Structure formats: C-alpha cells, structure tokens
Structure 1
C-alpha cells in the first residue's frame, strides 16, 4: 500500500478515536452508556443497525465465498438480513413491552434469575466470539495492506475499537458507526464494485470466463444455505448485540422500520461483495489464501487515494460490528451477572466504572483469542452455533407459549449447549447437525419439563384440596 493510502487509513483511525472521545461526554448514565439514551432517530438507528450486522464475515468472508462459489456466496449476509427483518416485523413490539436492556434480562423476567444467569453466560460468549471474528478481519486487512505482522495488526485494530468503546459505550459506538456506515457504503457500492467489474473486463467477461455455477443462487449447495439459515437468520433474532441496537430507537416505529431497511441493505451488500469475489477470481486466479481476496483485489485495482478510502470502509465494517458485540458481551456480564448477583446496590457512577472495567477485560480477551484462532469463519460458526442452538427456543417459546416454565428454560439452555459443543467436537465445526441437535434438544426439554412441571403443580393442588376436604 502506498504512502497516500496509508496516511488516509491513519487519519481515519485518528478520527474514530476523536469521535469516540466526543461520544464519551454524553455517556453519563448506565442507559446512556448501554443504550445511547434510547433516543436515536431513523437515520442514525438504521445506519448503526446496518453497521453492526455487516462486519468481518459479511465483507471478508463473503468476498471469500464469492471467490470460491460465485453469487451464492451472498447467502451468508442474506440470512443476517432475513433474521433482522423477522425480528423487526414479528418480535419488536413484544420485546419493547418488557422494558429490558438485555436478552438475558428478558429471560429473567419471563422465567427466573437462574435462567437469566445461564443465558447471560452463553450469550456473552457468543458476542465475544463475534468480536473475535472482527479482530481477525482487521488483522487480515492490515497484514495484507501494510505488511505488518498479523499479531501486530490485530493488536492495533482491536486496540482502537477497545479504546473508544471503553470511553463512551453506546454513544461512542453510535457516533463512530454513522461515520463507518457512510464510508463503507460509498467504498463498497460506488467504488469497489464498479472498479472490480471494470478490472475483470466487464460483466460480459464474468459470464464468459466463470463457470455457470458461479451465477446460480444455489451453487454453494442447499445444505450450506440451510446451515446459514440456522446460524445467522435464527442467530440474529436472539443476538444481544442486535437487541441492544433495537433498544436505542426513539420509537417503536423507528425501530421496526429501521430493522426492515437494514435487512434490505444487507441483501444488497451481500450481492455486491460476492461480485467483488467473482471479479477477484478472474483478476487473481491463484490466491494462496482466499480469505485475503478482498484486500488483494483492492490492492490490485484501486489507485492510492481511493484505495485508502475503500479500505477505511472495510475496516469500518469490522470496527462497527466489533464495538457493538464487545459492548453487548460486557453489558451481559455487567448487568445480568455481576449487578444481578454480586453488586445489587451499586449506584449509577459505580455501574459505569464497573461497565468500563468489564469492557476492558473482555476486549483484551478477544484480542488474545483472535491471535490464537486466526480463522474468521471458524470463529463465527462456533459463536452462532452455540447462540442459535441454546437461546433461540427459550426466547421464542417465552414469547409465544404461556405454559413454558422457568425450570424448562434453564435446563434447555444447559442441555442444548452441551449437545452443541459435543456435536461440534465430534462432527467438526462446519457441520450443520450439532445445531439441529441443539435446537431439537432444547425443544424437547422445554416441552417435557414444562408439561411435567404443570402436571406436578396440578397434582400438588389436587393433593392440597383433598387434604383440605379431609380436614373439613
């Protein structure tokens, strides 16, 4: 990468830090820090929601899939968009009625404190692992472009996100996300896509040189599409990072409309990035590591100043998701574990200090895990597999089945989590089966334990009535 592009990247990073510092001045209460005061208008809400959905896997991962499979690589991102639209249309009103900050707090109110605790552990691990994927993505981009060691690249990218998230929480995240949303939209749709197609020789060159399967929307395989549905469409519905953004909307109508728009934007983004991957297959046919397809393509086709802007857009996508999921993980631990069970009487100032401390610890841990794992799609699969398999069923039945009991929710999360982890260990992390096993186990436990609990309660009531009659 030439000096002009590097200076643009450095300037962009500096601007994010400054914006984060400005945002920190608005985070004066726990609701400001965690939910940006529940006060976002449509544009800010839509931009932030789209930014948190579309991160490292959406950009780097989908370009990789486009390079390997063609247009059908867009299914990963499309399923993210489908999940967010489902959440907006069918569940937002129900969620808003509970007046909660976290997904686990909802489970606590609907069921009991034990369910809140175990779900917070599972969901915080999911959010942390998604943050790990974004740090890996940032490291990959900086490693290819600047030539820094991959570990150093992860430290720099992850460190910047950690810095501004610690300072201002959701206000800093919101302000930086708006900048990042604008930059990534211009960089992907208006610069990278047209220049990639031009570099490949135009759309006719794509149709002539690529296999027919690259233009099929099922080229990646129906099994893989179903795998993405289980992971990402269902995962979006119960992701704390998504719920936390949903709560920032000023009104229910803004939250619902913004979610639908963010879903449509995700579909378009997935198509755009898949096309970039297809162009890369022609321009750079012998890549050693297809995970580097986007960065390598950018280096190949873009001039210096434009290159810096586009890569700032890609890093924007990564940083916006990383900051949102980092804050989601720390919020779950702070609000649903530490405050709920150990620091019940802390005031607002103490809560903010605790939140920033936990964010610092979680952020440092994510960087360590990113350096250890180093494979973006592997980390993402593990995160969404556990979340979808363990949390989706208790949440949905909690909303729509009044007979679901607290014991059923608690044990279903434990059983399904163990089932998924065991399945991933035995069959491999790319297998769809462990997620199906986990969901099936969760449904069985929820239904059986709920019905048994109801039967036991009825038996106790009958026994009590009999004893009362005998006494009379």
Structure 2
C-alpha cells in the first residue's frame, strides 16, 4: 500500500484545517438566521461552491465510481440525475423559494397547508436529511478503513465526529466556510488528478475500449429501469430536499440563487461522467476487486504516488464531509424550527433558539453515526432516504407552489397515503424496487387533486409572507 506517513500527515492537516475554519465560522453565527442560513448573504462563488459541495457526497463519489466499475459510463446516471434535479430547481423554483419568508420546506408547507401537513413533512424531510448524512459517514468509514486499515467502526466514529464538531460550532457559517475548502479540494482531486492519472495508468481511452465490454460504452448499460429509478429518487428528490432549499435561502439575491443553482447542476453532470470513467479505469487496473464499494479508495492507492495520494483522499473525504454537514444541519433545523419551536417552545428567544439548534444538532449527529454503524451500505441508505422524500412530499410542494386550489386536507392526506404506500412497497418488493416510488408519487398526486376538488376551500391557506428583494 502506498499510503505512508506523508499521506497521513496531509490527512491530519486537512482535518485540523476544517476544525480551524469551523471555529472561525462559529464566530459569525451570532443569530439563529446566521446559524441556519448564513445570514442570507452568500455571493455567487461561495453559493455555487457550497451547493456543489453539498450535492456531491459519498454516493456521488464512492457509489458512482462503484457503478462505473460494474457498468461503465452509464454509472454516471446517479449523479447526472442529481444534477438534472438541481438544474430544474434553479430554472423553475429558485425564484419562488428565494421569495419565501421561511427557513425550511416544512415551514412553507405549514404556512401553505396548515400545521398538520407541516409536522408530517418535517418528520419525513428530517429523516431523509439524516439518512443522507448516514451515507456520508459510511463513506468516510469506508475510505479510512481501506487506506489506514482502521476498524470500520473506528473510521466512522472519527469521520463523523469531525463533521459533528464543526457543524455544532457555527452551523451554516461553519458549513459554508468548510464547504469552500472542500469544493476546491474535491475539484482538484477528481478532475485534475484522479481522472487524468487513471486514464493514463489504464492505457488511455483506446485501451479502455479494447479491454472493456461494449456495454461499458453505452449510456443505457446500467438498464433503463435503473435510470428511471434514479430519476424518481434523485432528480425529484433534489427538488424537495431541505438541505438544497436551505442552501438556496443563503443566497444574497434571487439572481445569484438561480444562476448558482444551474451552475451547480452543470458541475454535477461533469462530475458524474468523471467518476464513472474513473471506475472504468479501475476495472482495467484492478479487475478482481472483492468489494466494489472500495473502488475509489483502492484505485487511489494503486495509481497515486505518496503525497498526491493524501491530497486525493482528502478530496473524497471533502465530498463526504460537505454533504454530511449540510444534511445534518438540515435535519437539525427541521426538528428545531418546525417541531420543537412550533409545538413546544413557541415563545423561545433567538439566543435560546440558537442554543437549542446546537443541542439538536448534537443529538442528530450522534444518531446519524449510530445508524451508519448499523446500515454500513451507502447506496442502500440513500435509496431509502430518497424514496420516502420523493414520494412523500414532492406532489404537495409542487402543487402548493403552482396550483392555488390545492387544500390543506388534500396535502395532509397525500403525504400520509404516499408515505404508507412507499414504505409498504419497499418492505414487500425490496428497497431496490422502482414500483413503490412510482405508486407513492401517483397516489400523492391523485389524493392531492381529488381531495382538493371534492373539498374546495376547506383547507385554510395562510399568507406565505413573501419578502421583497
């Protein structure tokens, strides 16, 4: 193994850098809006970098490299669908979201459809966000386990612990500042080191074509059903993901929110192609991997010299940590703002809410690490998270934004019915099945439209308090 003292030193220095940056960020988190939304004050570069960092995490890097190893270029579709969802969000919804005077997607649903819909959606969205955090902790554990030879449990505890520490300290400001560092490092590591060196070590594109099956060079090699499932899970999931909405609300202007979101989507498409090709190169260089989930780490160890290896591993850890911190904060915000504050501590002061947010973040972080130790599979955890999110609240959010006749009763029943259908379907047919998601989304739209038409104007619609910008 090429991983030596210099690489370990680079990794340790990188982790210490994140802690220092997180501490600096914590000094800017003086109010609850600073902690949750970075004061709604991010310019284009910071906004674009932070959004790109939170989108592309463990599943994007480790999972897509694994898919590239197993299926070829069509392994890109997981990340491509993330990028597609983000671009759709930027083009069609960024302006609407930026104009809402809310902190969370559930707060919007509460104002639009009443507290019942808001409460149920908060539970669903918080669970989704936490499960995405779980996938990142699993990914960090996998990387440290392969490279350092640490026990997988210890590796997850170390990686998850660092993220939890700086997220608790400064909330969105710490997450934003660390994300910029992480975005730069992951871009250099994937696009300028791993991709060109991987192609070179594999003998170039022409050698890949001669060594790999023809199906590895078709965009449908992974299967049409799988591609469609990724669309349902990730493209639709991005549109209603709390961590993404929360990032949009950090932009200084609507123009920045829209342009930065589309740019992050394009970046995601390029990232998906890059990591799939890295997986293809790994198939040529390391044809007999026992555990394909370790493809990226094993490839890095096989082709990179000392020092450079440490930087690239810092890059993939960056991708994992940025998403973990963003989704951890998203889950914490949903629980603090839409459940505890709304139902139990209605008269809480801003300072008390800031303290509450840190406590909830700590609890969610510990629970995330526990779940990661239990599940230990990146793609399994991600599938469950996005299935419930896409099917459970996609229809109420979209119809609520674009259809004035949608009612509170319809939204509440749609969320309950679709979530029940999805969970039952996944239990019966397995978590890799596409059918439960399709059924859930279909049930959600049917219930929303039918109940809204049959019981018009019976759901109280609250003023959304649109802010002028």
TM-score (norm 1): 0.96
Q: CA separation in 2, counterparts of 1:297 and 1:211?
A: 20
State whether residues 68 and 275 of structure 2, in contact with CA within 8 Å, keep that contact through their aligned partners in structure 1: yes
Pairwise CA distance, 1:203: 1.3
Structure 2: any 5+ residue segments left out of the alignment?
460-469
The partner residue of 1:84 within 83, 86, 91 is 86
Alignment correspondent of 2:98: 96
Q: CA separation in 1, counterparts of 2:235 and 2:60?
A: 13
Alignment correspondent of 1:367: 369
Aligned residue pairs, count: 457
Alignment correspondent of 1:255: 257
Moved more, 291-300 or 88-97: 88-97
Q: How does 1:169-248 map to 2 (within 5 A)?
A: 169-248=171-250
State whether residues 98 and 257 of structure 2, in contact with CA within 8 Å, keep that contact through their aligned partners in structure 1: no
Runs of 4+ in 1 over 6 A off after TM superposition: none
Residue 363 of structure 2 corresponds to residue 358 of structure 1: no
Q: Does the residue aligned with 1:144 lie in a helix, a strand or coil?
A: helix
| Residue-by-residue CA offset, 1:254-291 (whole Å, 9 max, x unaligned) | 01000111000001000000010000001100101000
State whether residues 98 and 248 of structure 2, in contact with CA within 8 Å, keep that contact through their aligned partners in structure 1: no
Q: CA separation in 2, counterparts of 1:293 and 1:455?
A: 55
Alignment correspondent of 1:408: 410
Q: How does 1:380-399 map to 2 (within 5 A)?
A: 380-399=382-401
Residue 15 of structure 2 corresponds to residue 13 of structure 1: yes
Alignment correspondent of 1:116: 118
Q: How does 1:448-463 map to 2 (within 5 A)?
A: 448-454=450-456
Q: Does the residue aligned with 1:70 lie in a helix, a strand or coil?
A: helix
Moved more, 268-277 or 96-105: 96-105
Q: CA separation in 2, counterparts of 1:80 and 1:455?
A: 36
Larger radius of gyration: 1
Residue 339 of structure 2 corresponds to residue 337 of structure 1: yes
Alignment correspondent of 1:306: 308
Q: Does the residue aligned with 1:98 lie in a helix, a strand or coil?
A: coil
| Residue-by-residue CA offset, 1:183-232 (whole Å, 9 max, x unaligned) | 00001000001111111111111011001110101111111100000000
Pairwise CA distance, 1:351: 0.3
Q: CA separation in 1, counterparts of 2:335 and 2:457?
A: 35
The partner residue of 2:24 within 22, 25, 32 is 22
Pairwise CA distance, 1:452: 1.8
TM-score (norm 2): 0.97
Alignment correspondent of 2:70: 68
Pairwise CA distance, 1:309: 0.2
Q: CA separation in 1, counterparts of 2:308 and 2:293?
A: 22
Residue 56 of structure 2 corresponds to residue 54 of structure 1: yes
Alignment correspondent of 2:44: 42
Structure 1: any 5+ residue segments left out of the alignment?
458-472
Alignment correspondent of 1:293: 295
**RMSD between superposed Cα atoms in Å:** 0.9
Q: CA separation in 2, counterparts of 1:448 and 1:356?
A: 42
Pairwise CA distance, 1:96: 2.2
Q: CA separation in 1, counterparts of 2:45 and 2:442?
A: 39
Pairwise CA distance, 1:443: 1.1
Pairwise CA distance, 1:455: 8.5
Alignment correspondent of 1:376: 378
Residue 447 of structure 2 corresponds to residue 445 of structure 1: yes
Q: CA separation in 2, counterparts of 1:291 and 1:427?
A: 24
Q: CA separation in 2, counterparts of 1:304 and 1:18?
A: 25
Q: CA separation in 1, counterparts of 2:282 and 2:95?
A: 43
Alignment correspondent of 1:324: 326
Pairwise CA distance, 1:22: 0.6
State whether residues 234 and 386 of structure 2, in contact with CA within 8 Å, keep that contact through their aligned partners in structure 1: yes
Q: CA separation in 2, counterparts of 1:101 and 1:107?
A: 11
| Residue-by-residue CA offset, 1:35-67 (whole Å, 9 max, x unaligned) | 000000000000000000000000000000000
Q: CA separation in 1, counterparts of 2:75 and 2:384?
A: 19
